[in-house]
Amino acid sequence: MSISLKKIVSVLNASWLGLKNETEIENISIDSRSLQNSPSTLFFAIVGANNDAHNYIEDLISIGVQNFVVQYVPEGLEEKANFILVQNSLKALQQFAVFYRNKFEFPVIGLTGSNGKTIVKEWLNFLLSPDFNVIRSPKSYNSQVGVPLSIVAINEKHNLGIFEAGISTTAEMQHLEKVIQPTIGVLTNIGSSHDEGFASIEEKIQEKLQLFDHAEILIYQKNKLVDPFIKPSSKTFSWSFEDQNADVYIYNKEIVNLETVIYYNYGGAKSHFKIPFVDRASIENAISCMMVLLYLKYDSAIIQARMGLLFPVEMRLKVKNGINNCTLVDDSYSSDFQSLKIALDFLESQKQFQNKTVILSDIFQSGLVNEELYERVSQLIISNNVNRVIGIGDTISDFKDKFANCITYNNTAEFIADFEHIDFSNETILVKGARSFQFEEIVALLEEKTHETVLEINLNAISYNLNFFKSKLKPGVKIMVMVKAFGYGNGGLEIANLLEHHNVDYLGVAFADEGISLKHGGIKTPIMVLNPENTSFGAIIQHQLEPEIYCLKGLHAFLKIAKQKNLKDFPIHIKIDTGMHRLGFEVDTIPELIATLKGNNTVKVKSILSHLATSDDPLQRDFAVSQINLFEELSSQIVRELAINPIRHILNTSGISNFPDNQFNMVRLGIGLYGVSNDPKEQKYLETVGTLKSVISQVRVIQAGESVGYGRKFVANRVTRVATIPIGYADGISRGLGNGVGYINVKDQKARILGNVCMDMIMVDVTEIDCTEGDSVIVFGDKPTVSYIAKKLNTIPYEILTSISQRVKRVFYR
Ligand SMILES: *Cc1c(COP(=O)(O)O)cnc(C)c1O
């Protein structure tokens, strides 16, 4: 892209408040944290429900970004950069994308539907890439923001586009339609449920179909629900399993081993193809792809050959623990320029280590000539501060000189042969390669070897939950997130990294050593230590942690050390006991607290806090109110008499939900971030963060009268299939779940726990479930939920989450 600012101002019909509008814009950004921002970036400052990007403009200017689309010019920045003033930055981004889209004339496939969009997109890309220079949306960039960002990545060399559009409510598709302007429309599986955000399934269908309003053809599965809403003027190309009047009639499908043969009749001619999948969704997705190939006049021999090579689509970047204390970012299934940019941004958000290595295969489908492509890749690598590049493939080897610290191999096998001579330690490694390079073998070598039980942590769900609670805060109210006990068992540093990425104001830990390990991990966000022991004050000061001080004895001890070290204004947090009776200054010690702090400048009261005992219990609301009132009174007294202006805070997760008027200056979010609410109504709005997964080690059949496990506590009364799972009470599975109390999820069905829970294993009943050794199972996640298990065990979700032992590997993904 190379477009003058002047042109953009006129395209957006905007006011210009700038210095020089001769600048050429080379790329578009909305992410203030991306290291790819540069003087030729145009930054759209988007105002979201929880985040106003205008707040980052000052920082961006300081690193050299000069061009901004804004809704207002932040105070003090006038004349410091070029500003294009618009009513709504998101709308402006879409408007710009429409303008940009109109510069290109090639066929564009637009996909929407409830399921399958991303898979169909990736498959079509694979099927069509031998014949076209394809530009497609990266990952699942299909939103109001993601679609325009996908479109502006088109360049002169592309000659086919594939873009997906996702919507969550009405009046959204019309915008995406204008941006994508599909010539070929594909409606994937529409689903039978009506999603939140739509009044009915009919409304959802009507809205989705708007994507195809101007397409030359609509490809879809004939369907009684959809048909009535297709405009008579629309040309369609339909398929069906049942309806012989469809353009393509699927008259048979046959499952053999792990493959499905699909037989179809098109224009009177019979033909078939085979795919390496057997599930219904894959079959439908494959047929959608075949329809596009038929429409583009591919012959059946090519269709047969290419469909047979379809593969499972890996849609997410995975973060894994690597050998020698490395962190791996596994993106081993694609290598195109757009997704490289995304992966590098993601790599930047992983702050565990200074050192970064990228293992990169040849890059396909950039639309650029190689010389220019690898020049651009090299610039990306430089701007992301990558220390080392390991290039694998003939082409990247030819361009080795473009990279500063680079070794290359002609193919994956050569790299593997040399593996033990390469040093990988204490660094973050991005593994990114095209499918054909089989980088999964490299990931297997680099991955830390542990047993098969893992706790998968969905980082997107954490972001989502954070934003959900942030949206409940009044303007200006800060947020502290509790990451004590390894982030409630979910992972300490990884989650702290993400929270820092989201600019939370404070992190909270229970003990000094938790805070120290976060500091060692590079966390810069201020950290409050809830429960500092006097013996740890030295370490707290050394590592710039901020102690909560909760009694006179602790205060005097801390002041003594602070004085010895000649500290000035060292931040501390004062906790008052308003009724919880756990930690905190009691009412009658407040005068002495004030007297001690008066005129003392070794420390500075950063905040005053208290903690509610009954915020989750509507029946004990009065007690919480009395605590809040006492807190208001005591904290005001301290503020007044010391003439200070600290942050005041009392609400935890259920406090945020139940006492919206008492947020003071900050709230302390804990369990809610991890996707658990004490309120079933609110639970619906949260996303599951942790999924505890394991596998089936062995399956056996026992006869009626035979028993299972220690003490023979389960005796079969019929022929029973028993599966053994390698997870037990040493991993945090309570013995209380044994003997039929709990179940696990096998293939989406309940498998009761049989007999006693062992130290490292459980046995479950899979008599009615079609499963085999090696199959994955879910111990908790969406089903059963942590809350369900807690209820069965007469405890609370907090205990279940924090009991998962550290020997269970945590895998983070988004
Ligand atoms: C743990 C903790 C929180 C967070 O509580 P949740 O119920 O998990 O939101 C807040 N404040 C203090 C003092 C805590 O110890």
Report which ligand 1 atom has the smallest distance to the Cα of 668.
10
> Is the CB of 479 within 6 Å of ligand 1?
no
pLDDT surpasses 80 at 726:
yes
pLDDT band at 194 (very low <50, low <70, confident <90, very high): low
Give me the percent of the chain exceeding a pLDDT of 90: 75
Closest-lying ligand 1 atom to the alpha carbon of residue 652:
9
* CATH code for the structural domain at 3-89: 3.40.1390.10
Ligand 1 pocket member 573 (CB < 6 A): no
Give residue 220's pLDDT. 97
What pLDDT sits at residue 496?
95
Catalytic (active site) residue 484 = yes
For ligand 1, atom 15, name the residue with the nearest CA.
Answer: 530
Nearest atom within ligand 1 for CA of residue 671:
8
- Rounded to an integer, the average pLDDT of 458-469 is 92
Domain 104-307 in CATH 3.40.1190.10? The answer is yes
Query: Of 121, 351, 432, 484, which residue is the catalytic one?
Result: 484
Amino acid found at 184 = I
How many angstroms separate the alpha carbon of residue 609 from the centre of ligand 1?
A: 12
Distance from residue 89's CA to the centre of ligand 1 (Å): 37
The token pair that represents 705 in the structure block: 């009268």
pLDDT digits (tens, 9 = 90+) for 760-773: 999 999 999 988 88
Least confident of 256-260, 402-406, 653-657, 708-712: 256-260
pLDDT digits (tens, 9 = 90+) for 769-796: 988 888 889 999 999 999 999 999 999 9
- Relative to the CA of 798, which ligand 1 atom is closest? 8
User: Mean of the per-residue pLDDT values for the chain?
Assistant: 92
652 CB near ligand 1 (under 6 Å): yes
Annotated catalytic residue, options 270, 400, 598, 710: 710
- Is 670 touching ligand 1 by the criterion CB < 6 Å? yes
The residue whose CA is least distant from atom 4 of ligand 1 is: 670
**Exposed, middle or buried, 717 (CB in 10 Å: 0-12/13-18/19+)?**
exposed
- pLDDT given at position 450: 57
667 lines ligand 1 (CB under 6 A): no
Which atom of ligand 1 approaches the CA of 656 most closely?
A: 9
- Concatenating the DSSP letter of every residue in 372-399 gives HHHHHHHHHHHHTT--EEEEESHHHHHT
**Given a cut of 90, is residue 419 above it in pLDDT?**
yes
Going from N- to C-terminal start, the domains of the chain cover: 3-89, 104-307, 318-449, 457-683, 690-813
Residue-wise pLDDT for 335-394, tens only, equals: 778 788 888 888 887 777 889 999 999 987 666 788 989 999 999 999 889 999 999 999
- What torsion, rounded to 10 degrees, do the Cα atoms 650, 656, 658, 660 define? 90
Mutate to test the pocket of ligand 1, among 652, 659, 674 (most ligand atoms within 8 A of CB): 652
Question: Rounded to the nearest whole angstrom, what is the distance from the C-alpha of residue 436 to the centroid of ligand 1?
Answer: 48
SS3 call for 622: helix
pLDDT classification of 103: cutoffs 50, 70, 90:
very high
- Strands (DSSP E) contained in 241-331 are 248-256, 259-266, 269-275, 318-321, 327-331
- Residue 324 has a pLDDT of 87
Residue 614 CB contacts under 8 Å (≥ 6 apart), including other chains: 620, 621, 623, 624
Mean pLDDT (whole number) for 238-256? 94
Q: Has residue 449 got a pLDDT over 70?
A: no
- Centre of ligand 1 from the C-alpha of residue 686, in Å: 18
Ligand 1 pocket check for 222: Cβ under 6 Å: no
Q: Could you tell me if 93 and 44 are in contact, meaning their C-beta atoms sit under 8 angstroms apart?
A: yes
Q: Where are the alpha helices (DSSP H) in 325-369?
A: 337-349
Q: Is the shortest distance between the CB of 482 and ligand 1 below 6 Å?
A: yes
DSSP state letters, 538-600: HHHHHTT-EEEE-SHHHHHHHHHHHHHTT--SEEEEEEB-SS--SSSB-GGGHHHHHHHHTT-
Q: How confident is the model at residue 331 (pLDDT cuts 50, 70, 90)?
A: confident
Q: How far is the CA of 460 from the centre of ligand 1 (A)?
A: 22
Secondary structure of 779-813 in the HEC alphabet? EECCCCCHHHHHHHCCCCHHHHHHHCCCCCEEEEE
Mean pLDDT lowest for which of 98-102, 380-384, 716-720?
380-384
Q: Show the CA angle centred on residue 333, arms to residues 331 and 337, nearest 5°.
A: 75
pLDDT in tens, 502-545: 899 999 999 999 999 999 999 999 999 999 988 999 999 999 99
Using the mean position of ligand 1's atoms as its centre, give its distance from the Cα of residue 171 in Å: 40
Q: Is 334 a pocket residue for ligand 1 (Cβ < 6 Å)?
A: no
Check: CB of residue 608 under 8 Å from CB of residue 635. Answer: yes
Query: What superfamily in CATH does domain 457-683 come from?
Result: Alanine racemase (3.20.20.10)
> What share of the chain has pLDDT > 70, as a percent?
98
Beta strand 714-715 pairing with 707-708: antiparallel
Q: Which amino acid is at 701?
A: V
DSSP-derived secondary structure letter, 119: H
Ligand 1: nearest atom to the Cα of 488: 8
The predicted-structure confidence for 267-311, as pLDDT tens digits, reads as follows 999 999 999 888 888 999 999 999 999 999 999 999 999 999 888
The DSSP secondary structure of 712-736, one letter per residue, reads G-EE-SS-EEEEEES--GGGT--GG
589 C-alpha to center of ligand 1: Å?
Answer: 24
- 318-449 has CATH 3.30.300.20 classification: no
Q: Which of 548, 651, 657, 668 to mutate to test the pocket of ligand 1 (most atoms within 8 A of CB)?
A: 668
Distance 530 CA to ligand 1 centre (A): 10
| Nearest residue by C-alpha to atom 6 in ligand 1 | 670
Tell whether domain 690-813 is in CATH 2.40.37.10.
yes
Q: What is the pLDDT of residues 1-37, one digit of tens each?
A: 889 999 999 999 999 988 777 889 999 999 988 888 8
Question: If we measure between CA atoms, which residue out of 38, 36, 147 comes closest to residue 96?
Answer: 147
Residue 671, ligand 1, Cβ within 6 A:
yes
What is the β-pairing status of strands 108-112 and 184-187? parallel
The residue whose CA is least distant from atom 13 of ligand 1 is: 611
Pocket flag, ligand 1, residue 658 (CB < 6 Å): no
Assess whether pLDDT exceeds 60 at residue 322.
Answer: yes
Q: Does residue 255 carry a pLDDT above 90?
A: no
* Contact 530 CB / ligand 1 (< 6 Å): yes
Question: Among the atoms of ligand 1, which is closest to the Cα of residue 575?
Answer: 13
- Verify whether residue 710 is a known catalytic residue: yes
Closest ligand 1 atom, residue 653 Cα: 9
Distance 510 CA to ligand 1 centre (A): 10
